[in-house]
Structure 1
Amino acid sequence: MATPVIIVHGGAWTIPDNLVQPSRDGTKCAARAGYAVLDSGGSALDAVQAAVLELENDPTFDAGTGSVLTANGDVEMDAVIMDGKTLKSGGVACVHNIQNPINLAREVMEKTDHCLLVGPGANLFAEEVGIKKVPTESLVSDEALRELECYKVYGNTVDDLFRQRGTGHDTVGAVAIDSQGNIAFGTSTGGISCKKPGRVGDSPIIGAGGYADNEVGAVSCTGHGESIFKVVLAYQIITQMKMGVSAQEAADKALANMAKRVHGFGGVIVLGSNGDHITSFTTERMAWAWAKEGVLHHGVNPGEDLTEPVINENN
C-alpha cells in the first residue's frame, strides 16, 4: 500500500501581487478536492481530474472559465490526462465552448482508441459523449479582454515576452499517487494571450507537457509551451529519474537546460513512484499546493512552504 499524495500547480509566470492570494486559495482548493478522492480510496486518475476541475472552474487560472483569448478574441483550450499504470492517455486541443476540457480528455482516453483529438473533431466527440457546449462569453473574463488588448500592442513579440520573462497566464495541472501505488497526471490550459488561432502548446502533448509512469513517476509542466516542446521537458525529467537521479535534481537540471538551450522559462511539479514530491520553477512565481497524510502545503513565491490541515472550515 502506498501513501496517497497529490500536487497541483496554477501556472508558472510573473503572478502580479493582486493575484497572489486568489492563486494561493485556488490551488489549495484544488489540492483539497484531489486529496478527498485519494483519502476515500479513489484512484489517482479521479484525483487529478477532480483537482483540475477545481482550477478550470476558477477564473483566476488560465484554463476553462479563466482561459485567455486568441488574437481574434476566441477561446481555444487544451487538456490531457494520463494513467501511469497502463500508459493510456487522452488529450484535446483547440476545443471551443467546453467548460471543463479535462472531462473531455478523460472521455478520449476511455472511449476512443486515440490519444489526441483536436478542433472541430474534438468538439464533435464532445457532443457524442454528451458534454454540453457553453456560450463563449461564459468563458471570457474582463481580465482576459484587457489582457488581449494589452498584448496586441506588442504584436509578434508576445512569444518572446513570455519566453524571456514568464509574463502572461499559463497552464494548470496535477499529479497524484493513490493507495494502490498507481500514478496519474492531468493538465489544462487556455494557452497564451493573443496566440494565433490553431496554436497548440506543449500541454496536451505526452512527453512534452507531462507524463505518468507507475515505474518512475509523474510530471506536469507549465511555462512557455514552445520552449517546453523543444526540449521535451517532462520526458527529460522522467528519463533522468529512470537513471536514479532524484526528482528535485532532475527537475532543476531540466529547467536549467531549457533556459540554456532555448531561453525558455517555466515550472514543474514532480511525483516519484516512491512518493517523493517536489516543485521547481524558473519564473518569478508559481502557485502550487500538495497534500499528504492530512497536511496541506502551499506556496507561490520561491522558497515558500506554508502548512495547514487539509480540512479547513474556512475554505
Structure 2
Amino acid sequence: MILLASSNGRIGMAAAMDVLRAGGSALDAVEAGIRLVEANPDDHTVGLGGYPNILGEMELDASIMNGRTLESGAVAGMKGYLHAISVARQVMEHLPHVLLVADGAARFAAEMGFTPADLLTDYARDAWQRRLDRDLPPDVRAALHAQTSLRDWVRLATDPERAGGTVNFIAQDARGDIASGVSTSGWAWSYPGRVGDSPIIGAGNYADNRYGAATCTGMGEMAIRAGTARSIVLYLKMGLPLAAAGQQAMNDLNDLGGRFRSTMHSLVLDKEGNHAAFSTIPDKTYVYQTADMPAPVEHPRTHVPVPTRWA
C-alpha cells in the first residue's frame, strides 16, 4: 500500500493512510486525503480559501479515476460547494456521464445532499482586490462586472506563476487497485469559466491498474494540449521505465508552440508501487508514504527544464 501527493497534500496523508490501513479502497483514500486539503483555508489553490477568478468568483474543478475499471468522474467551474472531489466521485458512481460543469455541477451537488458553502475567505478576497488595484485602471475596476470584453485585462491580472496550485493524490490499496484524484480552485484571477487540466481525464489525471497512474499540476492548458497524464501512463504501457516515462512526457511539452507556456509538475506511480515526480522548475518536492512508514516523507522531484513563454 502506498500514497503519493503533491507537497500541499501532506495535511491529508494521515487520513488517507488510515483508510488504507483499515482495508479501505484506493478511491476512498484519495477522496479522504483531498477533502482535508479542500477544507484548509491556508491553501490558496484548492477549495476553501482558494483565489478567485478576475470577477472575484470561486470556481472549483476536480476529478477522480478508478484504475481497476477506468471509470472516472469530474466537475468543472462548480460554484458554492466545497468538496469538489466528492462531487466528482458521485458523478462517477451515479451518472452515465464523466464531467459536469458550472450550474449543472452545482445542481447535482445539491441533489446529492452536499451543503452549500461560501468559499471566498476574507484573505483571498483582499488578495484579489489588491491585485486588481495594482494592475487595472480605476475605471475598469469600477465597471469590471459590466465589461463586454475581459480578454485584455485578464492578461494583466493573471499571474502565470500562480497557475501552479492544485492538489494531487495517487493511492494503491492492499488489493493492488490504483486510484488518482485532483482538485483545484483554478488559476488565480483567470477569465471566468476557465477550465484547466484538473477535471480533464487524460490531461491532469489518469489511472490504469495495468500500468500505473499520473497526475499533473501547473499550467493546465499545457497538460490539456499534450495529454500529459495519459502520455505518462502510455509510456509505461510501452515498456519505458518509470523515470524515462515521466521525463519523456515532460519533454513533450517542449513541442508546444504559441505564446503561452509556463510551469508543469507531474506525479507518477507504476503498477509495482514505484513512484517518481517531475517538474519543469528546480527544487520542487512531493510526499509519499507506505503502510509501514510512521509518517510521510518529502522527496525531490526530477527537474526537466522546459523554457517558459509569456507574450
TM-score tier (shorter): 0.7 to 0.9
* Distance in 2 (alpha carbons) for counterparts of 1:279 and 1:47: 20
Q: How does 1:1-315 map to 2 (within 5 A)?
A: 4-10=1-7, 23=8, 27-61=9-43, 62-135=45-118, 138-143=119-124, 145-147=126-128, 149-150=130-131, 153=135, 155-157=153-155, 161-162=159-160, 166-262=161-257, 263-295=261-293, 296-299=295-298
| TM-aligned CA deviation for residue 293 of structure 1 | 3.1
Contact 1:81–1:186 at 8 Å: present in 2 too?
Answer: yes
Gaps of 5+ in 2: 137-152, 303-311
1:89-113: per-residue Cα shift (whole Å, max 9, x none)?
1100110111111110111011111
Change over 3 Å in CA distance of 1:232–1:159 after alignment to 2 = farther
1:154-195: per-residue Cα shift (whole Å, max 9, x none)?
844469852xxx345511110111010111001100111111
The residue identity in structure 1 corresponding to 2:90 is E
- More relative contact order, 1 or 2 (CA 8 Å, 6+ apart): 1
* Distance in 2 (alpha carbons) for counterparts of 1:72 and 1:182: 41
| TM-aligned CA deviation for residue 300 of structure 1 | 7.4
Contact 2:3–2:171 at 8 Å: present in 1 too?
Answer: yes
Contact 1:77–1:94 at 8 Å: present in 2 too?
Answer: yes
The residue identity in structure 2 corresponding to 1:39 is R
* Distance in 1 (alpha carbons) for counterparts of 2:83 and 2:246: 29
Contact 1:99–1:134 at 8 Å: present in 2 too?
Answer: yes
Rg comparison, structure with higher value: 2
* Distance in 2 (alpha carbons) for counterparts of 1:244 and 1:207: 19
| TM-aligned CA deviation for residue 256 of structure 1 | 2.5
Structure 1 consecutive aligned stretches of length 4 or more whose deviation exceeds 6 Å: none
Change over 3 Å in CA distance of 1:265–1:283 after alignment to 2 = same
* Distance in 1 (alpha carbons) for counterparts of 2:10 and 2:69: 29
Contact 1:71–1:195 at 8 Å: present in 2 too?
Answer: yes
Change over 3 Å in CA distance of 1:108–1:285 after alignment to 2 = farther
Q: SS of 2:286's equivalent?
A: strand
Contact 1:285–1:300 at 8 Å: present in 2 too?
Answer: no
| TM-aligned CA deviation for residue 227 of structure 1 | 1.0
Contact 1:258–1:265 at 8 Å: present in 2 too?
Answer: no
The residue identity in structure 2 corresponding to 1:121 is G
Contact 1:77–1:101 at 8 Å: present in 2 too?
Answer: yes
What is the count of residue pairs matched by the alignment? 281
Q: SS of 1:71's equivalent?
A: coil
* Distance in 1 (alpha carbons) for counterparts of 2:82 and 2:72: 20
Contact 2:285–2:299 at 8 Å: present in 1 too?
Answer: yes
* Distance in 2 (alpha carbons) for counterparts of 1:300 and 1:68: 27
Structure 2 length normalisation: TM-score? 0.83
Contact 1:185–1:218 at 8 Å: present in 2 too?
Answer: yes
| TM-aligned CA deviation for residue 69 of structure 1 | 0.6
| TM-aligned CA deviation for residue 44 of structure 1 | 0.3
| TM-aligned CA deviation for residue 302 of structure 1 | 5.4
Contact 2:231–2:249 at 8 Å: present in 1 too?
Answer: yes
* Distance in 2 (alpha carbons) for counterparts of 1:209 and 1:168: 13
Q: SS of 1:237's equivalent?
A: helix
Gaps of 5+ in 1: 11-22, 304-315
Q: Equivalent residue for 2:307?
A: none
Comparing 290-299 with 239-248, which one deviates more in the overlay? 290-299
